[in-house]
Structure 1
Amino acid sequence: MVTAAELLQKKGRHLETALTDAEIAEHLAAVDNWALQDGKIAKTFVFKNYYETLAFVNAIAWVIHADDHHPELTVTYNRCVVKFDTHSVNSGKGGISENDFICAAKVDAIFQQAAQ
């Protein structure tokens, strides 16, 4: 079984194969409160104000860019919805890859650090 700690140690890489439904379920168990929504993994993060929301967005942009894997973000005053999928898997048809979960674990770590 994969853990969030293991995912945090990994770096994203270009993949060609999507995870199976069973692998997605296993990986979802490793990341806190992420859910499968419309073919993507998604989570909503809540903040005190717009400044904290934007600081979070900038922090995840910096970290996730290093993995060359970019989320879909919906940003409002005190919320940020983060969604990941991998467009390049399944011969360009898209799907969920391990990269999505590596980045999800990193986004969670950033959020936890900001909450301290």
Structure 2
Amino acid sequence: MPEDLAAKRCVPCEGGTLPLSREQATGLLAQLPGWALKDGKLERTFVFRDHYQAIAFVNAVAWISHQQDHHPLMEVGYKTVRVVYWTHAISGLSENDFICAARVSGLLPGP
């Protein structure tokens, strides 16, 4: 059984670190219900009851970002938050993206 992504911690990507292959990314994606690979990035849109809940979620994601020192793109609508991860330093996906996505998923019940 694979190690729980949410239990891992992000590590800085050093120079020369290669992005994950499509196969590696697809394997990790299988552990993240609700997330998708799109245009080389990992993303998910969350829908909330109202704007207040959406903003509370944004703040919780910001806390995860701060703790892991790995920051997503977030697009906020009235009741939606789109979270997009990729690692700028390597111009692709790293395990850090999947670790943070798992932690973000853990903020809410279900996939």
Same fold (TM over 0.5): yes
Q: Deviations over 1:19-57 (max 9, x none)?
A: 111100100100011111112100010000000000000
Amino acid across the alignment from 2:107: I
Q: Distance in 1 between matches of 2:71 and 2:57?
A: 14
Equivalent residues in 2 for 1:90-101 (5 A)? 94-101=91-98
Q: In the alignment, is residue 10 of structure 1 matched against residue 8 of structure 2?
A: yes
- My pick for the range that moved more, 98-107 or 17-26, is 17-26
Which protein is richer in helix relative to its size? Answer: 1
Gaps of 5+ in 1: none
Distance 1:9 1:24 in 2: 18
Corresponding position of 1:80 = 81
SS at match of 2:106: helix
TM-score normalised by length of structure 1? 0.87
- Give the TM-score of the pair, scaled to structure 2: 0.91
Aligned to 1:107: 104
> How far, CA to CA, are the matches of 1:97 and 1:2 in structure 2?
16
Q: Which runs of 4+ in 1 moved over 2 A?
A: none
Query: Which runs of 5 or more residues in structure 2 are unaligned?
Result: none
SS of structure 1 residue aligned to 2:43:
strand
Aligned residues between the structures: 107
What SS does the aligned partner of 1:70 have? coil
Please give the secondary structure, in 2, of the residue aligned with 1:81.
Answer: strand
User: Equivalents in 2 of 1:101, 1:17: separation in Å?
Assistant: 15
Closer/same/farther in 2, CA of residues 34 and 7 from structure 1, 3 Å limit:
same
